Amino acid sequence: MSYRVQFTISDQEYQELCQEAERLNYPNVAELCKSRALSGKKSYADLYREIIEKIDKLPAGETFRIRNLIENPPTLLGRWIADNVRNGTIKGVKRVEASAADADLYQKI
């Protein structure tokens, strides 16, 4: 069984959370809030930050798939990476090849 927790915040509070999520390398505000609510227990957000750290260390021009950076990545991480490359949250990375049957191919630029 799973549960959904919702709460309302102001525009200003949302902007502050967005900045905090970006500063701390969370994939989005929801994961930041979830991590805080669970007192920082290990989560997909931890894996996301680990991937971002590894991407940052890659040399320019190197291509990679998420599974090259961590073993057996959950599908949700692939979605977060794709979304955040597309919207510019993850800087210095472009998607080279989209694949429905396999993991997307990215390049560090």
Sheet holding 93-97, edge to edge: 63-64, 105-108, 93-97
Spell out the alpha helix ranges (H) of the chain: 11-23, 29-37, 44-57, 66-69, 75-86
Q: Specify the pTM.
A: 0.67
Which distant-in-sequence residues (6+ apart) come within 8 Å of 94 by Cβ? 85, 106, 107, 109
pLDDT, residue 102, reads: 65
Residue-by-residue pLDDT tens, the chain, 109 positions: 778 889 999 999 999 999 999 999 889 999 899 888 887 677 788 889 999 999 999 999 999 999 999 888 888 888 899 999 999 999 999 999 877 666 899 999 9
pLDDT, residue 40, reads: 63
